[in-house]
Structure 1
Amino acid sequence: MCGFAGFSGPDLPGTRDQCETVLNSMGHAILHRGPDAGGVWFDGQLRLGLSHRRLSIIDLSELGAQPMASESGRYVISFNGEIYNFRSLRTELESVGARFRGHSDTEVMLAAFEAWGVERALGRFNGMFAFALADRHQRKLYLARDRMGEKPLYYGWQGRSLLFGSELKALACHPSWKGEVNRGALPLLLRHNLIPAPHSIYSGIYKLLPASFISLDLDQLVPGELPEPSRYWRLEEQFDNGRDWTLEGASSHLETLLEDVVDDQMVSDVPLGAFLSGGVDSSTIVALMQKQASQPVRTFSIGFNEEGFNEAVHAAAVANHLGTDHTELYVTEQNARDLVPRLPQIYDEPFADSSQLPTYLVSEMTRKHVTVALSGDGGDELFCGYTRYPSMLRGWERRGSLGSRLKELSGRLPPGMTALAIRALVPSQKGRSAEAIRFRLARARAITSARTLSEFYRQSVSFWPDPAMALVESGEGSYGLMGTLPAQVPDNDLKTLMWRDLNWYLPDDILTKVDRAAMACSLETRIPMLDHRVVSFAMGLPASLNMNGKVGKQVLRSVLFRHVPRKLIDRPKQGFAVPVAAWLRGALREWAEELLEPARLREQGYWKADMVRQVWHEHLSGREDYSFELWGILMFQAWLANMGSADLLSSNRSA
């Protein structure tokens, strides 16, 4: 697990020494991703530079150092991640004449490029990765990302310089960096509390989509122009493997498959452990780890003192049953207050899944004991675990009757109607303000106007039903929830929702949250559920096999119950929730009030100050819980303050 960055383009930042100084600065900005070692590589003829920071996991010697050149010198790579099948690939490559000096997966990747070419080699890699690869013979630069999007990769033009890297803070160290706010990203932030790929918060900078690569001809680079990414693997092609499964047969197959995957992902030359929440996903991974381990597995969980948010007791019960070496941390409001100011530095752009707080804190605790931690992420998306799935399908079926009632009600609520008059017409909304009722109506109107299940889902998971309600400028860019579905995924059933989550929520929320939080602590995380063999198997299962009424993950549960008693697991799904609503009225109130100060909002020119303040006051009153709607705005405001408001405001006013 590491971090990388680099640049190319018509304009270079000076002499060779000056270019290497810039590369070292870009690497130093992501020191947390690789505190063990670092290196740079620059080729003046190619006008290309690579920087690397190393977190040593496999082959701790200098033979694993990067940037690394292939045996012939044709390829040079700067790589972040792990290739779990590197040992079998190495054996295969040795049989056709490849020679190796060390035993790192990076060296195996380079030999694979030499033997098979870049695209074919990508299809052979089983792992999590992002990399920049120079082909010195073809004078090309390749940027690539793993199948499910576990590892990040940003890229784009700033002036006449092409920049790329693992995190935005590395790109910002280049002298061509402009850092202008991408206003088109803000409506997406309001909708989903994140900025989905391919967008970023900065104009001209993009996220490479999962399972994609781009190839750039270094002799033909044109500032501002980028090639369309190519796909080397397609999720939709995994959706039907043509096999009929029974629950018992599917569970046995999944258990064997996960055992193999966990065995691959427990390979490490440094201490290793696992996150354990006590839920189905993490408990399954830990159970299979402990089954194969020769000593107690180190497990880590986090808890809350607030009622309704604490899963630590369940994690402790599972750990006790499995016999793991368990450590837990209870989070307080003060922990949150101390961490919140650091979130902009950790995430580089506004990111507002509030479970980022406990994710960082459990990573920080875990890193004190181990360098690698396995996680149970991905189980909900792959095995129908979200409780919203059946409720959304029911809502989609009933949308017609709801839409007619809504249309009638909306016609009775003209603009300017007082709260008293509205409540007289809508008795069920007694106690709510006029604006709160209008907000609810706007949400319902957006949902019921959807013409496809995909659009119904997009509106249902939008925190702000209409971003224009709060934004001065509100044009939205396209992203994963707006595109048409491939032919293999009909827009009418449960797999539609799974497809959408796997293509945007998983990589843009869950995996982003885990990667940045863990790497900020120099902790490598591995996610067995996202091995592409598990993904392919899960997508080939009929949805009915996983969903029993309102309870999903039946196949995965069946695996777990072979190792952990049902009574320790069977309970309502809780999720990794955070009591941020109460914290905003308590320990975080002063911080939020400063960021949402009316004059500040008006001066910055991004938000409609009156609307934002109305929502804030409604939340403080306790009449409404607008914590999700506010957290995205607060994360932008905190990010804006952290990035230097003077420069950003200057570019904003001149736009």
Structure 2
Amino acid sequence: MDGLFGWCGTVPGHATWSEAARGLEAPGGTAASPDGTVRAGIAGTPRWADRELADLAAVRGDAAALLEAYRRDGEALFGRLRGGYAAVVMDARHDRVVAGIDRFGIQTLCYATPGRGGLVFGSTADAVSTHPAVDAALSPQALYGYLHAGTVRAPATIHAGQQKLRPAEYLVLERGRLRRGFHWQPGWGEDRRSGPELAEELRRLLRTAVVRTLGRDPMACFLSGGLDSSTVAGLFAGAVGRPARAFTVGFEDPRYDERPYARIAARHFGIELTEAVLTPERAAALLPEVVAAFDEPFGNSSSLPTLLCARSARAEGIALMLAGDGGDEIFAGNARYREQLRYEAAARLPASLRRATAGMLLSPGLPWGGMGPVARARRFLERTALHTAERLEVYNPLCGRPVARVIHPDLAAAVDPELPIAEARALYEAPADAAPVQRMMHLDLAVTLADNDLRKVGRMCALAGVRVAYPLLDEDLVDFAVRIPGALQATPRLLRRFFRDALRDFLPAPTLAKRKHGFGMPFGPWTAGRGELADIARDALDGLAGRGLLDDGFVAAVRQAARGGGDPALAGCLWDLMVLELWLRSRAGLHRAARPAEAVA
């Protein structure tokens, strides 16, 4: 048991609160009130904003501090918590359960309500599914969502009978009624201080954030050579007072190999750098283990180099790794922002000018209408009229494809193909007074970071046997970053504008000029040709085609695209389908088959 797990209320087979108290497990420990009627458990690496609670946690543990926070504040206790955590309090006196996770989704919490007033919860979907009262059938909607995004985004899980909390979300089950809320939301806005003042504040907060992660255990950094990992590594090197260590991973293919940039940063900061190389053969050997480590199908191929890097560190006695995740989401670094900002700029042009230009370019009588520049201009104008959440998906191979040509016809009626974009639109619109780039950052904090990057790094570090900390997700730093004016954060020509300018005298010039890449893996070339990884992919597609989950034509089209024929946009789906089949094999007997529409609640 590597996380929280428990049940409460009138769950069939576990109907009493005394049984629920015995069922609560937590790696961070549990604590109970003197009369045993209130019990608390916590997982992760919490940090207490309240000095008295921090002192109590230091002496009696975080669960005891959580119990005291609940006694003081009830469900408002999360205002006193920082760091990465999942926390649960079960109060038999008031027939109440309060559960929540940290602001950024560093920790996860899944739950199901299988009985009248009952609740089963766990840090993973696997843990919740083991309870005999929980429906472990695959959800057709979540299956479609996985194919759409390469991960199952909260609040869904891959199972029809359970959900998971979103970042900063909490739930309260009281007298059989469930309600949910958020204990924190980013305070998007505009700090009116001058650029130099903001830059100085950023540098101070970055130093503080890294210092907060320091401890007695042997520590090192992930170092890809990009802006975020280099910043964290440089600040770490300056804070430890001894030669710092960093670990990186590369590839034999120079198009994907980032080690030269990692070496530049290491030399600049005087860091001892350890390098690992991921080959196709090593990737094939790691793949089944990596896929099985996730409680849901997870299609981010950079999980493999992340695991190799973390294991390289563990083999050298490192217990805690510092990661640079979060920087793109709070300092506007994701590449798609640049294109979207161009659309936003065009949308601000006078409507009459846009209509006249559109009328000219979209006229079917133009003799040059099919030429490249004009065709691109037409597409640009057409997409300008779309909502940002829709434009972000125009390159997604599932968009525009009928759901019955993706999901097996027996299950397709249970799927709403508009739901992924509708959920993204709601996240984009959530900040009341945010600039367009801030809205995109808000969306990415919830999905790109929480549902993807943090799950990848956290799960791979756990598999490697090392802990991980994210200095760029320090609460004080994030509260500052979301107040940086959008016009300073990024422009249609330059991402991370403010961050680059503020650290221009700290980071090496090649790092500042480097394009974003990370530990991206050359899975396309590796699975398109011959070799063990390609054989695994072909065998996985054969297995998936017979499961009755996906449309046979869709699987065949992905296979054809991976061979260089058909629709090239589908070639990228090969990895996700391969992972899905391998994950299903790893969970044989745990889940049950997806059910047709009329049986799906």
TM-score (normalised: structure 2): 0.85
Matched AA of 1:322: F
- How far 1:312 moved relative to its partner? 1.6
Give CA-to-partner distance per residue, 1:238-268, whole Å, 9 cap, x none.
Answer: 111x53233322121011112122111223x
**What is the distance in 2 between the residues matched to 1:181 and 1:540?**
41
Match of residue 437 from structure 1: none
1:505 — aligned with what? 448
User: 1:622 Cα shift?
Assistant: 6.8
The residue identity in structure 1 corresponding to 2:519 is F
| Cα distance in 2, alignment partners of residues 590 and 501 from structure 1 | 34
Partner amino acid, structure 2, of 1:76: R
Structure 1 pair 227–48 and aligned structure 2 pair: CA distance change class (3 A):
farther
Paired residue for 2:18, among 44, 48, 53? 44
What's the Cα RMSD here? Answer: 3.6
* Matched residue SS, 2:510: helix
> Which of 373, 378, 388 is equivalent to 1:453?
388
Correspondence list, 1:125-204, <5 A: 125-158=81-114, 162-204=119-161
5+ unaligned residues in a row in structure 1: which ranges? 16-41, 55-65, 412-424, 429-439
Q: Is 1:229 the counterpart of 2:229 in the alignment?
A: no
CA distance in 1, matches of 2:135, 2:12: 16
SS at match of 1:288: helix
Question: Is 546-555 or 350-359 further displaced after alignment?
Answer: 546-555
Query: Once the 2 structures are TM-superposed, how far is the Cα of residue 209 of structure 1 from its aligned partner?
Result: 1.3
1:299 alignment partner in structure 2: 246
What is residue 31 of structure 2 aligned with on the other side? 68
Separation (CA, whole Å) in 2 of partners of 1:48 and 1:466: 50
Deviation of the 1:540 alpha carbon: 0.7
Residue matched to 1:466? 400
1:276-297: CA deviation from partner (whole Å, max 9, x where unpaired): 1111111111211121112222
TM-score using structure 1 length: 0.79
CA distance in 1, matches of 2:381, 2:407: 17
After alignment, is 250-259 or 520-529 more displaced? 520-529
Distance in 1 separating the partners of 2:590 and 2:488: 56
CA distance in 2, matches of 1:636, 1:125: 36
Q: Report the CA distance between 1:580 and its aligned residue.
A: 0.8
Match of 2:558 in 1: 615
* Correspondence for 1:77 among 33, 40, 52: 40
Amino acid at match of 1:505: T
Displacement after TM superposition at 1:461 (Å): 6.0
Return the offset for 1:650.
8.2
- Contact residue 181 and residue 652 of structure 1 kept, 8 A: no
Matched, 1:538 2:481: yes
Equivalent of residue 592 in structure 1, options 515, 518, 537: 537
Secondary structure at the counterpart of residue 455 of structure 1: helix
Call closer, same or farther: CA 1:633–1:206 in 2, change over 3 Å.
same
Are residue 256 (structure 1) and residue 256 (structure 2) matched?
no
Q: Which residue matches 1:7?
A: 7
Q: CA deviation at 1:271?
A: 2.2
Distance, in Å, in 2 between the alignment partners of 1:305 and 1:71 is: 61
- Structure 1 position 562 matched with structure 2 position 505: yes
Q: Measured at CA, do residues 312 and 73 of structure 1 come closer, stay the same or move farther in structure 2, by a change above 3 Å?
A: farther
* Pair 359,46 (structure 1): closer, same or farther in 2 beyond 3 Å: closer
How far 1:584 moved relative to its partner?
Answer: 1.1
Question: Which moves more between the two structures, 481-490 or 302-311?
Answer: 481-490
* Residue identity matched to 2:323: S
Residues 8 and 48 in structure 1, CA contact (< 8 A), matched pair in contact too:
no
Overall identity of the aligned pairs, in %: 26
- Paired residue for 1:26? none
Deviation at 1:164, TM superposition (A): 1.0
**Cα pair 2:431 2:439 within 8 Å, conserved:** no
Distance (Å, rounded) in 1 between the aligned partners of 2:83 and 2:386: 38
Change (3 A) 1:284 1:2: farther
For 2:505 and 2:69, locate their aligned partners in 1 and report how far apart those are by CA, in whole Å: 39
Alpha-carbon contact 2:545-2:555 (below 8 Å) kept: no
When structure 1 is superposed on structure 2, of 74-83 and 141-150 the one drifting more is 74-83
- 642-651 or 563-572: bigger deviation: 642-651
Report the counterpart of residue 351 of structure 2 in structure 1: none
Aligned length: 575
Counterpart CA distance in 1 for 2:256 and 2:525 is 12
Equivalent residues in 2 for 1:568-587, closer than 5 Å: 568-586=511-529, 587=531
Alignment-derived partner of residue 117 in structure 1: 73
**CA–CA distance in 2 between the matches of 1:299 and 1:573?**
19
Query: Counterparts of 1:7 and 1:398 in 2: how far apart (Å)?
Result: 53
| Equivalent residue number for residue 315 of structure 1 | 262
Q: 1:581, 1:603 → 2: CA distance?
A: 24
Taking the aligned partners of 2:554 and 2:57, their CA distance within structure 1 comes to: 62
1:84-106 per-position Cα deviation (integer Å, ceiling 9, x unaligned): 3x3x6344776xxxx67826444
Q: Structure 2: how far apart are the matches of 1:608 and 1:403?
A: 38
Equivalent residue for 1:362, pick from 292, 295, 309: 309
Q: Does 1:239 align with 2:192?
A: no
- Partner amino acid for 2:391? F
Q: In 2, Cα distance between the equivalents of 1:448 and 1:543?
A: 22
Asked if the contact 2:9/2:20 (under 8 Å) is kept, the reply is no
Cα distance between partner residues in 2 of 1:14 and 1:396: 54
2:300 equivalent in structure 1: 353
Do the aligned partners of 1:190 and 1:463 also contact (CA within 8 Å) in 2? no
Gaps of 5+ in 2: 348-353
Q: CA deviation at 1:654?
A: 9.8
- For residue 327 of structure 1, give the secondary structure of its aligned residue in structure 2: strand
In structure 2, the CA distance between the partners of 1:243 and 1:538, relative to structure 1 (3 Å rule), is same
Matched with 2:231 is 284
Describe the shift of the 1:406–1:470 C-alpha distance in structure 2 as closer, same or farther (beyond 3 A): farther
Q: Is the 8 A contact 1:373 1:526 kept in 2?
A: yes
Secondary structure at 2:426 match in 1: coil
214, 220, 240: which one aligns with 1:266: 214
Following the alignment from structure 2 to structure 1, what is the Cα–Cα distance between the partners of residues 265 and 84?
28
**Which of 102, 108, 116 is the matching residue for 2:65?**
108
Are 1:89 and 2:57 matched, yes or no? Answer: no
| Contact 1:480-1:504 at 8 Å conserved across structures | no
